[in-house]
Structure 1
Amino acid sequence: MTRTLDTLGKALRHNMLVVATCRDCERQARFLARDLAAFYGQGRDPHSLKFRCTACDRHNCKITLMESPYDRTPETVVWRPVKVKL
Structure 2
Amino acid sequence: MFKITVMTQTIDTLGKALRHNMLVVATCRECQNQGRFLAKDLASFYGHGRDPFSLKFRCKQCDTRNCKITLMDNPYDRTPETIVWRPVKVKL
Report TM bin, short chain: over 0.9
Larger radius of gyration: 2
- Counterpart of 2:4? none
- Counterpart of 2:62? 56
Q: Secondary structure, in 3 states, of the residue corresponding to 2:8?
A: coil
Percent identical residues:
76
5+ long unaligned stretches in structure 1: none
Q: TM-score, normalised by structure 1?
A: 0.95
Aligned-partner Cα distance in 2 for 1:54–1:83: 16
Deviation string 1:30-85 (CA, Å, 9 cap, x unpaired) is 000000000000000000000000000000000000000122422x1000000111
Q: TM-score, normalised by structure 2?
A: 0.89
Once superposed, which parts of structure 1, at least 4 consecutive aligned residues long, lie more than 6 Å away? Answer: none
Aligned-partner Cα distance in 2 for 1:27–1:52: 10
